[in-house]
Structure 1
Amino acid sequence: MTDLRGSNSATAAAASLRAQPAAASVIATCLNAQAESRPRSIIGRAFGASPLSEASRRPYVAAIGELHVASELEKLGADWVILHDVPVGERGKVIDHLAIGPAGVFALEVEHRPADAIAVRGELLTINGVARPHLVTSRDLATEAAVNLTRATGLNVPARGLIVFVAPQSVSTRDEPDDVGVTSDRAVHKWLADREPTLSATQVAMIAAAAADRSTWRGAIARRAPGFNADAFDALRVEVQRAWLARGFWGTAIIAAAAIAAVQLFGA
């Protein structure tokens, strides 16, 4: 299970985004929504009713996706600095993951799209054949990152958007835009690692230091979302897993009972 706690030092967490846990905002949203839900009944628990409410289900899934992508990004190694939940606006906008390494600066947006078909044809991105505005959103986040980092460092810091789809059926790209990439969770670390180097180690360190400084993100809500609680989310994940196992058990039991009844009926 991904460790959500970041630094053990509350002071360090307040001073630097390096200690910001992955998915902090959506975890807070999930837990705040879950706190308003009714507890499951004893029967519901026994038969594997989901502990998630309607309001908490979507942010829960989003948080699991972001945590999974964060673990994939760890494969990039020490040459890269990965920051999570980077605030870029007064309205609570965040960059899910900001990757800074030899290939440059990338603002990652994570989308959970299980079994969906993703296609990029130039400036058109479709999901199951339906046009979606993800390229525009990703480009805007990358522009916010570039403006803030250029101002903070005094360097010209371009940033590229990168949309990461979690568990898609397929990702097909043709004539991908120069400033926005599209990939899957399974391929994200390789996608980044395979980019041509554009920054020296010194430049990476300088940009990463500025990116980790909360004052860089001027005008942003640069604080951990109220309601974030790593232990509470870990406990919720355990409950969800147990409910899934219980449903699997009862489903198997029903199938087995039906098979036995059929044998007895037709064998009589």
Structure 2
Amino acid sequence: MVQPIGETNDRRMLLRYPGRCRLCGAEMTAGADAIYERDRRTVRCLECTPAHAIQAVAAPSSELWMQRPPEKGVLRLRAPASSVIAEALQVQAAAPARTWVQRFFGRSPLSVESRPWFLGALGELEVARLLDQLGPGWAALHAVPVGTAGSDVDHIVIGPGGVFTINSKFHEGGNVWVASRRLLVNGQRTDHLRNAEYEARRVAKLLTQAARRPVEVTPVIAIVAARRLTIRERPERVIVLNVARLPRWLQSRAAVLAAGDVTDLSVLAAAPATWGNPAIPEPDLVAFAQLRTTVVAARNRRLGWALALMLSPFAMLATLAMGMLTTFG
């Protein structure tokens, strides 16, 4: 029996990742036209959806994600963190395999060289997950390659509030301190502010050329997994905020773009020609998912050993107490 689609929370969209229909189990490839069930966080194919229900949830034709499936290589379907995932896997491929002893005690499979790339990917994936909450009227592109030197922009977001470049920075457990011209991580100076500002200027220049009219771009740095973020003084040109605040902050911006402008700029931003027709390699997302599972399993094993070591003195004391009770009881 086909269940009805919810009146407000279901959305028709082009899948960014492969998926499986919740009702019939059919496999759906990336780019497939499907219904996203926001309350369940699942997808269903159009064949399992009545025609009248599809029309009920269809977004206006002017919205980016309701256009016809784009030609191969268009950037709107590029997976988040594609560039850093590809780099992480390439560097990790040179890492020696762990011995059984290392696996037994939970040593991380990551090499020293691949760890920064792996953590960078986690940051970009978390930002992309939150950007999915923006809803209709907004478009988000991820891992947008620019030029021929292999550089990319973590995220480009276009909506009523304007155009934004978002640079995700994963600093797990770190202390981040921000002043007007400095951003420190655990007391160490970084180039985050300078790089974010340069990135936004570059994107603004290329979008301006493509649109043939001025396009302003706001640089944003989204801090992921930090223990503390202290804004001593807000930078003049770059927005720095905790990643959890990102969707609401974007939605709270005063409207500066009409719906048609958002659509036009989104289409231009999704075209490789806008960025100089860079090469767009596709990462092995399955291999990265497997690596991520292995990293989590190793971490859990280390935590298990740490807990066992913490409890072992208490276990020895309990055994000694039981022995004394048996002897003198």
TM-score greater than 0.5 by the shorter chain: yes
Go from structure 1 to structure 2 and tell me whether the alpha carbon gap of 1:46 and 1:102 turns closer, same or farther (over 3 Å shift). Answer: same
**1:26 to 2:84 alignment:** yes
Cα deviation, residue 229, structure 1: 0.2
What is the letter of the counterpart of residue 221 of structure 1? Answer: P
Aligned residues: 263
More helix, by proportion: 1
Maintained 8 Å contact 1:27/1:233: yes
SS in 2 for 1:186: helix
CA distance in 2, matches of 1:47, 1:129: 32
SS in 2 for 1:94: strand
Go from structure 1 to structure 2 and tell me whether the alpha carbon gap of 1:49 and 1:4 turns closer, same or farther (over 3 Å shift). Answer: farther
CA distance in 1, matches of 2:189, 2:98: 39
Cα deviation, residue 235, structure 1: 0.7
**1:221 to 2:243 alignment:** no
**What whole-Å deviation, never above 9, does each CA across 1:27-61 have from its counterpart, x for those lacking one?**
01111111111222222222212111222111111
Partner of 2:168: 110
Go from structure 1 to structure 2 and tell me whether the alpha carbon gap of 1:241 and 1:13 turns closer, same or farther (over 3 Å shift). Answer: farther
Max Rg structure: 2
Cα deviation, residue 122, structure 1: 2.2
Cα deviation, residue 174, structure 1: 5.4
Equivalent residue runs for 1:52-91 within 5 Å: 52-91=110-149
Percent of aligned positions with the same letter in both sequences?
33
Q: Of residues 223, 227, 249 in structure 2, which corresponds to 1:169?
A: 227
CA distance in 2, matches of 1:87, 1:133: 20
**What whole-Å deviation, never above 9, does each CA across 1:224-262 have from its counterpart, x for those lacking one?**
25xx10110111111111112222222222333321113
Partner of 1:179: 237
CA distance in 2, matches of 1:64, 1:49: 19
Partner of 1:231: 286
Which shifted more, 118-127 or 54-63?
A: 118-127
Q: Of residues 67, 72, 88 in structure 2, which corresponds to 1:14?
A: 72
Unaligned runs of 5+ in 1: none
Maintained 8 Å contact 1:183/1:191: no
Partner of 1:136: 194
CA distance in 2, matches of 1:135, 1:14: 34
**What whole-Å deviation, never above 9, does each CA across 1:83-131 have from its counterpart, x for those lacking one?**
0011223322211011111111111111111233333332333334444
SS in 2 for 1:36: coil
Maintained 8 Å contact 1:18/1:83: yes
Maintained 8 Å contact 1:20/1:224: no
Maintained 8 Å contact 2:73/2:280: no
Q: Of residues 253, 260, 266 in structure 1, which corresponds to 2:315?
A: 260
CA distance in 2, matches of 1:4, 1:38: 33
What is the letter of the counterpart of residue 260 of structure 2? Answer: T
Q: Of residues 212, 223, 242 in structure 1, which corresponds to 2:297?
A: 242
Go from structure 1 to structure 2 and tell me whether the alpha carbon gap of 1:18 and 1:42 turns closer, same or farther (over 3 Å shift). Answer: same
Cα deviation, residue 263, structure 1: 3.2
Cα deviation, residue 12, structure 1: 4.8
CA distance in 1, matches of 2:212, 2:268: 10
Go from structure 1 to structure 2 and tell me whether the alpha carbon gap of 1:160 and 1:29 turns closer, same or farther (over 3 Å shift). Answer: same
Structure with bigger RCO (C-alpha 8 Å, 6+ apart): 1
CA distance in 2, matches of 1:177, 1:103: 19
Q: TM-score, normalised by structure 2?
A: 0.74
**1:95 to 2:156 alignment:** no
**1:188 to 2:241 alignment:** no
Unaligned runs of 5+ in 2: 1-14, 19-28, 33-68, 325-329
SS in 2 for 1:161: strand
SS in 2 for 1:156: coil
Maintained 8 Å contact 2:109/2:294: yes
